Amino acid sequence: MLLVKKKILIGMTGGIACYKIPILVRALKKEKAEVKIVMTEAATKFITPLTLETVSENPVAIDMFEPKSYIATRHIDLSEWADVNLIAPATANCLGKIASGISDDLLTTVICATTTDTIFSPAMNVHMWENKITQRNIQILKDIGYLFIDPAEGEMACKHYGVGRMPEPEDLLVELVKHLTKKQTRSVKKKAY
């Protein structure tokens, strides 16, 4: 159990690759990680919050101002909870908003408020991935310390072929384990001095 008590916040944006996230969440739970999920409204068009609540065993956060149970500092609470944030799938829209400092929904506001590592797993059409604006936004985010799991090459839902597919859940799991293990090793070394 490599992820015992590790807290992972998954931010989901609106892309067909959302279907891979329940598989990832189940794998994380098998490794004894705690998982919370924040979805954009667009993500809920691809997969239901109920599915993710079932596999994560936690409520899914969507609205900035939840009508039934309003919590004024919800974005701060979520931003301080996690050991790592994984934005998957990360759409071109999401990357652009965060690179521009736009916080207009719960997910982008959580990321704006967080001080922990955030890893993006982009997923989009090959032409969107190769777009100069998308690549500029990715470079901006990398330059200020955000981390990325590169998209895979293959056939896409739109029948195009190229780079832009979100990696498979098992590949995302490996990357999260590597990141959290490396981070833990760095913390132990700091304490030793």
Q: Is the pLDDT reported for residue 161 higher than 90?
A: no
Contact 43, 14 (CB under 8 A): yes
Q: What's the rounded Cα separation, in Å, for the pair 36 and 137?
A: 26
Q: Residue 109 domain-assigned?
A: yes
Average of per-residue pLDDT across 105-123:
96
Q: Is the pLDDT reported for residue 135 higher than 60?
A: yes
Q: Residue 2 domain-assigned?
A: no
Number of domains in the chain: 1
Average of per-residue pLDDT across 154-160:
79
> Domain containing 107: what range?
7-192
Per-chain mean pLDDT for the chain: 90
Residues taking part in catalysis: 158
Average of per-residue pLDDT across 69-75:
66
Q: Residue 1 domain-assigned?
A: no
Residue 72 pLDDT class (50, 70, 90 cuts): low
Q: The domain that contains 129 carries what CATH number?
A: 3.40.50.1950
Q: What's the rounded Cα separation, in Å, for the pair 86 and 20?
A: 13
User: Which range among 50-59, 126-135, 154-163, 167-176 shows the weakest confidence by mean pLDDT?
Assistant: 154-163
Region for residue 97 given its phi and psi (left: phi exceeds 0; alpha: psi -120 to 50; beta: otherwise): alpha
